[in-house]
Structure 1
Amino acid sequence: MSSDPFALLLAPFDYQFMTRGILVGTLIGAVCGWLSCYVVLKGWSLLGDALSHAVVPGIAIAYTLGLPFAPAAFISALMAVGGIGLIKGQSALKSDAAIGVVFSAFLALGLVLISLNPGGVQLTTILFGNLLGIGDSETIQLIIISLVCIVALSLRWKDLMLYCFDEGHARVMGLNTVWLNVLLLSMLSLMTVGALQAVGALLVVAMLITPGACAWLLTDRFGHMLWLAPLIGAACAFTGSWSSYFMDSSVGGTIVLLQTLCFLVILVLAPRHGLLAQRRRSASAGADEEAS
């Protein structure tokens, strides 16, 4: 082993599969972080979790037929969204119940399809991801998915912000809220497919929620969230992928643990919304009451 500390730190980049996994993972982490701002603002955390399970049947069918997994998984996610909307519209069930029924059914269907063709795709790959095992075709798919979402968010970020903050006000302002809803759901479905390859179906919701939650605690301005969340997502994805080489650990698990650690630190130390800041304000308010 080299005694040069810089050579040791750069050791993961001596391998093509590590370099590709780290760079692609960083890109996915950044885009998921950007999208997570809207998911957190809209309150769609449970929907993100549902989509991470809903793509499983599409992936199983794609691998069985030898098709690209991204389009099939995307279609599967859109079908789940349509099913949730149909149940909500045609019954008295609340949205959380409709989401729970649909994503459980889609996950069960995916597990049945995988069991019928166990040689098609490994269940562990779907559940836990395989970022370091992606090939050239999957890399191209993930880059295309990320670029599509980057372009869409760049063009409509203000409209989406208004829609997520107050849908009624957005409608009064003349925005097509139905189109914005479809656009946001489509991007959420696309990035669910992308993040699935990185961290798997069990952890994908973390990449779509945690960076936005961290940014929410750090600032009251949505414009600041839009660069804080991608920075946190990218940094955790890069560091997690890189450090997994030395730890010989799960890449997806390491990435999500780093994101969780960032969230816990920010939860305690955030200058305005952190626990310590709230305690200081409470102590100050108590002192003022005693003085008066």
Structure 2
Amino acid sequence: MTEMLLVPFEYEYMRNAMLVSAVIGAVCGLLSGFVALKGWSLLGDALAHAVVPGVALAWILGLPFALGAFASGMLAAWVMGFIRRNSRIREDAAIGIVFTAFFGAGLVLLTLFPSNIRLQTIILGNVLGIAPEDTTQMLIVAAGVLAVMALRGRDLMLWAFDATHARAIGLNTGLLQMLLLGCVAAVAVAAMVAVGAVLVIAMLVAPGATAYLLTDRFGRMLAGATALGAATALAGAYASYFIDGSTGGVIVCLQALIFILALVLAPRHGLLAARRARRQAARPAGFAA
């Protein structure tokens, strides 16, 4: 039985997949705390879809895919911000318009200029076939995100909680927003190769949303989301070998399952806890159970 459980570790592609998945899960989990706090779930969705035309243009121009994807993601973020600041359009509408427009442009480019780029790979990823250079890219992005958090993490935390106060004490809130957007875009680009543009959205949302239900302290929330992201990504990659299923899909399903458990069972903010609180509030004063 033990030998059977250790079989995935005998294959280099599985060891590599589990390593890359764990790194992606940890970094996405760390950023998901800020995404959940700022209400940027739709923004993560937009950035993940907006990289498609960048990848297509990079292939046409002979540039690295990561460069095109990152530039496309940051351009989409700027366009969404421009529309929100200079029109009556609500933020959710601006996000929906921009990311569908970028995604549609990517589809047009991929059909007009046929290439070896498969849309399915961009959308769903292929962590089992990830190239060494993509692994290196993901490690570099992870190191960059950790460096940003080490240098400006406290400022980002203050801005995430209260942008007005952060601006009042002299922090450059525009720079902080661009730093966080850049981190999210870079992670979305790097993770796109492994789990795909669609599934990276869940990895940028689910760990932070789960940790948000379990604690009221932001530091613990970030730590919990990071650990949860790494553990579920590693476990999902490992389990996908035995069930012969999509690695990214297994990871996201596992994260969704844990979120549902937290939603129901969280000691203070779960559905059962809220139900108990309502019952206690409805009891007459002095009533003994």
Aligning the two structures, in what range does the TM-score lie when normalised by the shorter sequence? Answer: over 0.9
After TM superposition, list the pairs within 5 Å mapping 1:78-89 onto structure 2.
Answer: 78-89=74-85
3-state secondary structure, aligned to 2:197: coil
Distance, in Å, in 1 between the alignment partners of 2:60 and 2:18 is 28
Distance, in Å, in 1 between the alignment partners of 2:252 and 2:62 is 30
Compute the displacement of 1:258 (Å).
0.4
Report the AA paired with residue 67 of structure 1: L
- Taking only the aligned residue pairs, the percentage that are identical comes to 52
Q: Which moved more, 1:55-64 or 1:168-177?
A: 55-64
8 Å CA contact retained: 1:24, 1:142? yes
1:154 to 2:150 alignment: yes
Instruction: After superposition, give the CA deviation of every residue in 1:90-136 in whole Å (9 maximum; x if it has no partner).
Output: 32211111111110110001111111233321111011111111111
3-state secondary structure, aligned to 1:27: helix
Q: Which moved more, 1:199-208 or 1:41-50?
A: 199-208
1:212 to 2:208 alignment: yes
8 Å CA contact retained: 1:60, 1:120? no
Report the AA paired with residue 52 of structure 2: V
Compute the displacement of 1:81 (Å).
0.9
1:286 to 2:278 alignment: no
Residue 260 of structure 2 corresponds to which residue in structure 1?
Answer: 264
Compute the displacement of 1:8 (Å).
1.3
Distance, in Å, in 1 between the alignment partners of 2:284 and 2:251 is 44
Residue 227 of structure 1 corresponds to which residue in structure 2?
Answer: 223
Q: Which moved more, 1:253-262 or 1:82-91?
A: 82-91
Instruction: After superposition, give the CA deviation of every residue in 1:253-287 in whole Å (9 maximum; x if it has no partner).
Output: 11100000000001111111011111111122222
Residue 73 of structure 2 corresponds to which residue in structure 1?
Answer: 77
Distance, in Å, in 2 between the alignment partners of 1:11 and 1:62 is 39
Residue 26 of structure 1 corresponds to which residue in structure 2?
Answer: 22
Change (3 A) 1:244 1:118: farther
Instruction: After superposition, give the CA deviation of every residue in 1:164-199 in whole Å (9 maximum; x if it has no partner).
Output: 111001111221111101101100111111222222
8 Å CA contact retained: 1:58, 1:75? yes
1:178 to 2:174 alignment: yes
Compute the displacement of 1:6 (Å).
2.1
Compute the displacement of 1:79 (Å).
0.7
Distance, in Å, in 2 between the alignment partners of 1:120 and 1:190 is 23
Distance, in Å, in 1 between the alignment partners of 2:120 and 2:89 is 33
Compute the displacement of 1:200 (Å).
1.2
Distance, in Å, in 1 between the alignment partners of 2:284 and 2:269 is 21
8 Å CA contact retained: 1:53, 1:201? yes
Residue 14 of structure 1 corresponds to which residue in structure 2?
Answer: 10
1:253 to 2:245 alignment: no
Residue 33 of structure 2 corresponds to which residue in structure 1?
Answer: 37
Report the AA paired with residue 40 of structure 1: A
8 Å CA contact retained: 2:134, 2:190? no
3-state secondary structure, aligned to 2:198: coil
Distance, in Å, in 2 between the alignment partners of 1:11 and 1:117 is 42
Instruction: After superposition, give the CA deviation of every residue in 1:39-94 in whole Å (9 maximum; x if it has no partner).
Output: 11111111111001001111222344453222211111011011112222332211
3-state secondary structure, aligned to 2:13: helix
* Unpaired segments ≥5 residues, structure 1: none
Change (3 A) 1:6 1:117: farther
Report the AA paired with residue 73 of structure 1: A
Q: Which moved more, 1:160-169 or 1:190-199?
A: 190-199
8 Å CA contact retained: 2:264, 2:271? yes
3-state secondary structure, aligned to 2:204: helix
Distance, in Å, in 1 between the alignment partners of 2:285 and 2:123 is 54
Compute the displacement of 1:289 (Å).
4.5
Q: Which moved more, 1:247-256 or 1:111-120?
A: 111-120
Change (3 A) 1:237 1:66: farther
Report the AA paired with residue 194 of structure 2: A
3-state secondary structure, aligned to 1:118: coil
After TM superposition, list the pairs within 5 Å mapping 1:101-120 onto structure 2.
Answer: 101-120=97-116
Compute the displacement of 1:13 (Å).
1.6
8 Å CA contact retained: 2:17, 2:130? yes
After TM superposition, list the pairs within 5 Å mapping 1:127-138 onto structure 2.
Answer: 127-138=123-134
3-state secondary structure, aligned to 1:200: helix
Aligned length: 288
